A and B are shown apart, each in its own frame.
Chain A
Amino acid sequence: MFNLTNVVMEMNGEMDANGGRRTIMQIRDLKKVFNGTVVAVDGVTFDVYEGEIFGFLGPNGAGKTTTISMLTTLLRPTSGTATVCGFDILKEPNEVRKRIGVVPQEYTADEDLTGYENIMFCADLYGIPRRISRERADELLRLVELEAAKDRKVETYSGGMRRRLELACGLINHPRVLFLDEPTLGLDVQTRAAVWQYIRKLKEEYGMTLFLTTHYLEEADALCDRIAIIDHGKIVKIGSPKELKDSLGGDVIELGVQESDDDLTPLISSVQHVKEVKRVSPSEYRIKSELGEVTAPMVIDALRSKGYRVNKISLTRPTLDQVYLELTGKSIREENGDRTQAMRQRMIMRRARR
């Protein structure tokens, strides 16, 4: 089985269309309806390229986990198809499972066993011979810096340590695609940064493709090669962080001038790079432009040359936050508090149940 699109593109010499990369996952109109009524994923179509970090971003209940569950063969799609590493998730799920690693949203390590026992358990599930799995386990535990704690029961681990253990478990079969469902949820800023460092290190070491969901936009921005924003089970936007930000229409320059009756809009619009000008009040203008840092001085010069005085200026770079807000109508910051809290609660409940 090979990828026809890529072959065609190669022949046409258009490999650069996707950065010269091969497609490792093809998702076509994938849909999941629960209980006949809850449409969790509403026909998503996208490609993931080999070696990239692909981010799935969306508010609570958008269908991120459901999508991951289908791609990792845990859930049967209601309709649609997907291939992972060239294998159909429905027709050859076992071939898919051999080639993927999963780091789920929850902590799934067995609390009654030690870290080392947990990782060996994972290795055995893949049928990796002991001789090899021992070496891999040592290597992975070293990578995620759990060597010292490997013989302790997982119930004594902190949240960060658990997450790192999950990572190590997800990598034991040297997967070609690693799925990470909110890998840094509920972790403090430092631990988050550390986890990301591991993830990047591991990716470099093993040359994997990463498919992740996250609620932290800065992370998605800094780490992902491409991002899909999903809301109500539909992908509303897909592209590199830069493309997404550019789609907002570039930088925003806010300008205050001495109050006058003259409408300066035509004058400002004539400046190079300026794309859109809006008079917010008699003395205030909102300008959308590319290359804001270059355009802003040019606008000031243009105004000054006509005798107008600029008394206030600000330059805002578009953030992924704004993209997210514009596309989903929700600010992700409001959500984060809730989510972290919800996660904490879940963890506490889980402990209490034991």
Chain B
Amino acid sequence: MTTAEANKNLVQPAGGIPAPGDKSNSTIISSSPYHGLWALTNRELKKWYKNPVILLLSLIQPVLWLGLFGKAMNFGAIFTDGAFSIPGLNIPKEIINQLGTMLMLNVFGTTDYFSFLAVGMLSFIVLFTAMFSGMSIVWDRRLGTLNKVMSTPVARGSIVMSKILSSVIRSLVQASIILVLAVLLGMNISNITAIGVLGTFASLALLSFGFSAIFLMLALRSTNQNTQMAVVNLLNLPLLFGSNALFPASFMPEWLQAFVKINPISYATDIGRQMLLGAGGMGTLAFDFAYLTAFAAAFSIVGIMLSWRLLSK
């Protein structure tokens, strides 16, 4: 529709009501299938950044984990700098330190556990943000906002996509904050490069895409936020502990290792450790990225397809 037509329309809104069925609609409506996607995403983000309390609260947990686990269980310090000595044996300090370092490198792929965990926390915050992305659609349904949105010509897929996108954006912002905090708290930055940071965030974005889509799908038909909460609580810790985010998989029992191998969190964390810390990984970067991309694509597509079916009743 041209600007002139649009203007005419504006001045004369009721002007010449077209006959029923007349396809030349009097209202000005964009034909792009993506219109509204940004509006919907922006609405979610606005609610988030206008309420810094929520942002702060969501950061507390990973920061606590970093502080408590990362600093208290500093395995590196346990094995080095004389914290570890065997009475009666007079082993030179340098040798103990070297042994400790080797041990750390073997187990964690890096020399300090804090850095190891910090990267894990980036995946942690992504997972937790994604888990709650489903909650907002339950709310929207309860409050009738979803119905209102669905009575407009917005594509059904945009509704789900906007929730995924806003969750991805939130996750990345939160992960950046966690990364900065971790560096301030003493994360090893000797191997950090711009490409490493970009690659890490790309992997986190993929992780967030996939998980947000999964949790949104679980919420598509739900009208009860308690059910949704229960699902979230049921899944969060197994997903986290069944990955290499907190501890290396090599010491886990066989069956758990198998789960770690399919858990996408492991791949995002693996990418982070390789690209940020220069640590040795469980797979090649290319395979890690391929796995995450497939994960994100598969679930986003299924999510959008389900939204066509499940959003309408």
CB of A11, distance to nearest CB on chain B (Å): 16
Contacts of A74 in B (CB 8 A): 147, 150-151, 312-313
- Please, how many angstroms separate the alpha-carbon atoms of A128 and B205 in the complex? 30
A76 near B152: Cβ-Cβ < 8 Å: no
Contacts of B152 in A (CB 8 A): 97, 122, 125-126, 173
B313 near A112: Cβ-Cβ < 8 Å: no
- Please, how many angstroms separate the alpha-carbon atoms of A290 and B46 in the complex? 62
A132 near B21: Cβ-Cβ < 8 Å: no
- A163, CB-defined interface residue at 8 Å: no
B14 near A205: Cβ-Cβ < 8 Å: yes
Q: Which of A87, A97, A105, A175 contacts B21 (CB 8 A)?
A: A87
- B32, CB-defined interface residue at 8 Å: yes
Binary contact track A64-77/B, C-beta < 8 Å → 1, others 0:
00000100111110
- A1, CB-defined interface residue at 8 Å: yes
B147 near A104: Cβ-Cβ < 8 Å: yes
Using known A-B contacts A22-B19, A132-B6, determine if residue A72 contacts B145 with beta carbons closer than 8 Å: no
- B64, CB-defined interface residue at 8 Å: no
> How many inter-chain residue pairs (CB < 8 Å) link A and B?
136
Cβ-closest chain B residue relative to A173: B27
- Please, how many angstroms separate the alpha-carbon atoms of A173 and B35 in the complex? 14
CB of A159, distance to nearest CB on chain B (Å): 15
A98 near B29: Cβ-Cβ < 8 Å: yes
B147 near A108: Cβ-Cβ < 8 Å: yes
B27 near A110: Cβ-Cβ < 8 Å: no
Binary contact track B52-73/A, C-beta < 8 Å → 1, others 0:
0000000000000000000000
Contacts of B51 in A (CB 8 A): 112
- Please, how many angstroms separate the alpha-carbon atoms of A231 and B291 in the complex? 57
Cβ-closest chain B residue relative to A72: B151
- B39, CB-defined interface residue at 8 Å: yes
Q: Which of B27, B32, B43, B150 contacts A98 (CB 8 A)?
A: B27
A132 near B145: Cβ-Cβ < 8 Å: no
Contacts of A104 in B (CB 8 A): 144, 147-148
Cβ-closest chain A residue relative to B147: A74
- Please, how many angstroms separate the alpha-carbon atoms of A125 and B36 in the complex? 4
- B149, CB-defined interface residue at 8 Å: yes
Give the total of A residues in contact with B, Cβ under 8 Å: 55
- Please, how many angstroms separate the alpha-carbon atoms of A105 and B152 in the complex? 16
Contacts of B145 in A (CB 8 A): 108, 110
CB of B256, distance to nearest CB on chain A (Å): 39
- A176, CB-defined interface residue at 8 Å: yes
Q: Which of B36, B43, B47, B312 contacts A75 (CB 8 A)?
A: B312
CB of B18, distance to nearest CB on chain A (Å): 8
- Please, how many angstroms separate the alpha-carbon atoms of A94 and B36 in the complex? 14
Most-contacted residue by chain A among B22, B153, B312 (CB, 10 A): B153
Contacts of B82 in A (CB 8 A): none
Using known A-B contacts A113-B46, A127-B35, determine if residue A94 contacts B20 with beta carbons closer than 8 Å: no
Most-contacted residue by chain A among B6, B13, B20, B32 (CB, 10 A): B20
Contacts of A85 in B (CB 8 A): 20-21
B20 near A129: Cβ-Cβ < 8 Å: no
A121 near B312: Cβ-Cβ < 8 Å: no
Using known A-B contacts A112-B50, A176-B26, A207-B14, determine if residue A121 contacts B43 with beta carbons closer than 8 Å: yes
B28 near A22: Cβ-Cβ < 8 Å: no
- A135, CB-defined interface residue at 8 Å: yes
B19 near A110: Cβ-Cβ < 8 Å: no
- A102, CB-defined interface residue at 8 Å: yes
- B38, CB-defined interface residue at 8 Å: yes
Contacts of B313 in A (CB 8 A): 74-76
B19 near A2: Cβ-Cβ < 8 Å: yes
B28 near A132: Cβ-Cβ < 8 Å: yes
A127 near B32: Cβ-Cβ < 8 Å: yes
Q: Which of B6, B25, B40, B148 contacts A129 (CB 8 A)?
A: B6
A94 near B17: Cβ-Cβ < 8 Å: no
Most-contacted residue by chain B among A85, A87, A136 (CB, 10 A): A85
A127 near B312: Cβ-Cβ < 8 Å: no
Cβ-closest chain B residue relative to A102: B151
- Please, how many angstroms separate the alpha-carbon atoms of A97 and B19 in the complex? 17
A99 near B27: Cβ-Cβ < 8 Å: yes
- A117, CB-defined interface residue at 8 Å: yes
- A191, CB-defined interface residue at 8 Å: no
B13 near A174: Cβ-Cβ < 8 Å: yes
- A23, CB-defined interface residue at 8 Å: yes
Using known A-B contacts A102-B151, A104-B148, A113-B46, determine if residue A176 contacts B17 with beta carbons closer than 8 Å: yes
- B30, CB-defined interface residue at 8 Å: yes
Contacts of B50 in A (CB 8 A): 112
Contacts of B154 in A (CB 8 A): 125
- A145, CB-defined interface residue at 8 Å: no
- A276, CB-defined interface residue at 8 Å: no
CB of A133, distance to nearest CB on chain B (Å): 9
CB of A181, distance to nearest CB on chain B (Å): 10
A23 near B20: Cβ-Cβ < 8 Å: yes
- A24, CB-defined interface residue at 8 Å: yes
- Please, how many angstroms separate the alpha-carbon atoms of A117 and B25 in the complex? 26
- B10, CB-defined interface residue at 8 Å: yes
Using known A-B contacts A121-B39, A136-B10, determine if residue A102 contacts B148 with beta carbons closer than 8 Å: yes
B21 near A1: Cβ-Cβ < 8 Å: yes
- Please, how many angstroms separate the alpha-carbon atoms of A297 and B143 in the complex? 58
- Please, how many angstroms separate the alpha-carbon atoms of A122 and B148 in the complex? 9
Chain A to chain B contacts (Cβ below 8 Å), 9 pairs: A74-B150, A74-B312, A98-B153, A104-B144, A122-B148, A125-B39, A126-B27, A128-B27, A132-B6
* Chain A residues in the interface with B (C-beta under 8 A): 1-3, 22-24, 50-51, 69, 72-76, 83, 85-87, 94-95, 97-100, 102, 104-108, 110, 112-113, 117, 121-122, 124-129, 132, 135-136, 169, 173-176, 205-208, 350
Known: A2-B21, A69-B147, A74-B147. 10 other contacts (CB 8 A): A2-B20, A83-B21, A85-B21, A95-B25, A98-B29, A102-B151, A126-B152, A132-B28, A173-B29, A205-B13
In the A-B complex, list the 6 residue pairs whose CB atoms are closest, starting with the nearest: A86-B21, A127-B30, A124-B39, A127-B35, A207-B14, A86-B20
